[in-house]
Structure 1
Amino acid sequence: MLLRQATMADLPQIESIIRDGRELLAAQAIDQWQGAYPNTAVLVDDIHQGWTVVLEENNEILGTAALIPGEDPTYKQIDGQWLTVQAPYLAIHRVAVSSHHRGHGLAGELFQRLFAQIDHAQNIESIRIDTHPQNMAMQHVIKKNGFTETGMIDLEAAGLKGTKDYAYERLTANVKSVHVVHAEIVK
Structure 2
Amino acid sequence: MLLRQATMADLPQIESIIRDGRELLAAQAIDQWQGAYPNTAVLVDDIHQGWTVVLEENNEILGTAAIIPGEDPTYKQIEGQWLTKQAPYLAIHRVAVSSHHHGRGLAGELFSRLFEQIDHAADIESIRIDTHPQNMAMQHVIKKNGFTETGMIDLAAVDMPGTKDFAYERVTANVKPEHMLHSVTTK
Structure-1-length-normalised TM-score: 0.96
Paired residue for 2:130? 130
Paired residue for 1:103? 103
Alignment of 1:1-187 (within 5 A): 1-182=1-182
TM-align CA RMSD: 0.9
Paired with 2:178 and 2:40, the residues of 1 have a C-alpha distance of 37
Paired with 2:11 and 2:160, the residues of 1 have a C-alpha distance of 24
Q: Which runs of 5+ in 2 are unaligned?
A: none
Paired with 2:3 and 2:178, the residues of 1 have a C-alpha distance of 29
Q: Which runs of 5+ in 1 are unaligned?
A: none
Aligned positions, number: 183
Give the CA deviation at 1:178: 3.2
Give the CA deviation at 1:56: 0.1
Q: Does the 8 A contact of 1:156 with 1:162 survive in 2? A: yes
Task: Give the % identical residues.
Answer: 89
Paired with 1:16 and 1:173, the residues of 2 have a C-alpha distance of 35
Paired with 1:126 and 1:32, the residues of 2 have a C-alpha distance of 25
Q: What per-residue deviation string (whole Å, max 9, x for no partner) do you get for residues 27-84 of structure 1?
A: 0000000000000000000000000000000000000000000000000000000000
SS at match of 1:162: strand
Paired with 1:150 and 1:115, the residues of 2 have a C-alpha distance of 19
Q: Which amino acid aligns with 1:21?
A: G
Q: Does the 8 A contact of 1:87 with 1:178 survive in 2? A: no
Moved over 3 A (4+): none
Give the CA deviation at 1:162: 1.2
SS at match of 1:37: coil
